[in-house]
């Protein structure tokens, strides 16, 4: 049986990486802050799902990280977008808009 949760899970799987890159485009971000933003938008279930994604972004060279001191206590690991990550995000954005428009047109067509 197809449920809305199953559909959303499938859609999120391919998109959340690029949403994370979009957040990093705004500047250095620490993991928990990114997780909260993505969770608030319904793109991830919780912070535990973000860290494997961040590890993949680091391994693929789309992001980099460094530890920085924090006013709130212990140091935080901040993630930043690399030039390769910026290029990947640009390719995604150039692909996403036509794809989104095609899906919207298809869904609006009368049967």
Find, among 3, 13, 23, the residue nearest to 63 by Cα: 23
- How many Å separate Cα 49 from the centre of its chain? 11
Question: Given a cut of 70, is residue 8 above it in pLDDT?
Answer: yes
- Read off the pLDDT of each residue in 63-83 and give the average, rounded to a whole number: 92
Q: Which domains does the chain show, CATH number per domain?
A: 4-108 (1.10.10.10)
Query: What does the pLDDT read at residue 40?
Result: 94
DSSP state of 1: -
Q: What is the pTM of this model?
A: 0.87
Query: What does the pLDDT read at residue 14?
Result: 82
Distance CA 36, CA 31 (A): 9
Task: Enumerate the H helices of 60-82 as residue ranges.
Answer: none
Query: What does the pLDDT read at residue 18?
Result: 96
Question: Given a cut of 80, is residue 110 above it in pLDDT?
Answer: no
């Amino acid at each position: 049986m197809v449920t809305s949760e199953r559909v959303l899970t499938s859609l999120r799987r391919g998109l959340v990486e690029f949403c994370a890159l979009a957040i990093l485009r705004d500047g250095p971000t620490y993991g928990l802050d990114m997780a909260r933003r993505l969770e608030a938008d319904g793109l991830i279930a919780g912070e535990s799902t973000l860290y494997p994604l961040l590890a993949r972004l680091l391994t693929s060279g789309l992001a980099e990280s460094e530890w920085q001191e924090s006013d709130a206590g212990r140091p935080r690991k901040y993630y930043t977008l690399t030039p390769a990550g910026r290029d990947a995000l640009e390719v995604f954005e150039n692909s996403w808009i036509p794809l989104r428009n095609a899906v919207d047109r298809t869904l609006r067509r009368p049967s």
